[in-house]
């Protein structure tokens, strides 16, 4: 019952997130692919246009902070997030960081250094937890769809 109620709000959510992505592109110069999902509560602080580049099929979860201004050197360092990534809730991505394709950043992680492709990182500061992972769209692990089907049989 609750799922059908929430599904009624899905169109509204898609409209709002679409407007948010357009606003980020126009006002802050954030490069966001159309297939990317960006939470309404995430924050992106950039000093230059194109300072943040988010690849396709990536999910940026709630209360995530991405900022490009380095307070030590006083310069803006761009952030690049690859394709098929998942950036967990409450993460902080610091200036100059590149997150490789198909990577997962755990919830609450503080990412200070580049993240290689195909890894899971977590912690403060973020460290590699697992390597050699394969993910699908939005950073979903390969077995996730089958597990979901088993758990929620109609």
Q: Is the pLDDT of residue 1 over 60?
A: no
DSSP for residue 100: P
Q: In the chain, where are the structural domains located?
A: 2-151
pLDDT for position 16: 86
**Phi and psi (nearest 5°) for 13?**
-60, -45
pLDDT, one tens digit per residue, over 53-75 is 999 999 999 999 999 998 888 89
Listed residue (38, 39, 37, 32) closest to 137, CA to CA: 37
pLDDT band at 113 (very low <50, low <70, confident <90, very high): very high
**Where do the H-state alpha helices sit in 9-153?**
10-23, 144-151
pLDDT, one tens digit per residue, over 145-154 is 777 777 776 6
**8 dihedral zone (left: phi>0; alpha: psi -120 to 50; beta):** alpha
Specify the pairing of strand 110-111 against strand 98-99.
Answer: unpaired
How many other C-beta atoms are found inside a 10 Å radius of the C-beta of residue 11? Answer: 9
- 118's CB contacts (< 8 A; 6+ apart) are 100, 101, 102, 103, 131, 132, 133, 134, 135
pLDDT for position 5: 64
How many other C-beta atoms are found inside a 10 Å radius of the C-beta of residue 50? Answer: 12
Q: What is the pTM of this model?
A: 0.84
The CATH architecture to which 2-151 belongs is 3 Solenoid (2.160)
Dihedral angle, C-alpha 3, 58, 139, 80, nearest 10 °: -150
> In this prediction, what percent of the chain has a pLDDT beyond 70?
94
């Amino acid at each position: 019952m609750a799922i059908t109620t929430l599904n009624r709000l899905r169109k509204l959510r898609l409209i709002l997130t679409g407007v948010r992505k357009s606003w980020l592109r126009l006002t802050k110069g954030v490069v966001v692919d159309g297939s990317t999902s960006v939470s309404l509560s995430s924050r992106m602080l950039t000093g230059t246009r194109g300072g943040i580049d988010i690849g396709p099929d990536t999910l940026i979860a709630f209360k995530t902070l991405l900022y490009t201004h380095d307070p030590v050197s006083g310069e803006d360092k761009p952030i690049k997030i690859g394709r098929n990534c998942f950036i967990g809730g409450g993460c902080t991505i610091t200036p100059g960081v590149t997150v490789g394709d198909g990577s997962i950043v755990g919830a609450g992680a503080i990412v200070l250094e580049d993240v290689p492709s195909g890894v899971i990182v977590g912690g403060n500061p973020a460290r590699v937890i697992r390597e050699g992972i394969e993910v699908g769209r939005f950073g979903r692990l390969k077995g996730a769809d089958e597990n979901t089907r088993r758990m929620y049989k109609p």
